[in-house]
Amino acid sequence: MQDYHINIFYSNEDEGYIADIPDLQHCCAFGDTPQQALQEVLEAKKIFLESAKKNYKLPLPQYKPLIYQANLREA
Considering 41-45, 47-51, 64-68, 70-74, the range whose residues carry the highest mean pLDDT is 41-45
* DSSP line for 7-67: EEEEETTTTEEEEE-TTSTT-EEEESSHHHHHHHHHHHHHHHHHHHHHHSPPPPP------
Distance of alpha carbon 36 from its chain centroid, rounded?
13
Neighbours of 68 (CB within 10 A): 5
Q: What is the per-residue pLDDT across 30-42, written as a single tens digit (0 to 9) for each?
A: 999 999 999 999 9
pTM for this one? Answer: 0.74
DSSP 3-state of 70: coil
Q: What is the per-residue pLDDT across 44-57, written as a single tens digit (0 to 9) for each?
A: 999 999 888 887 77
Q: What is the per-residue pLDDT across 10-23, written as a single tens digit (0 to 9) for each?
A: 999 999 999 999 99
Check whether 26 has a pLDDT greater than 80. yes
Q: What is the mean pLDDT of residues 57-72?
A: 62
Q: Which residue has the higher pLDDT, 49 or 66?
A: 49
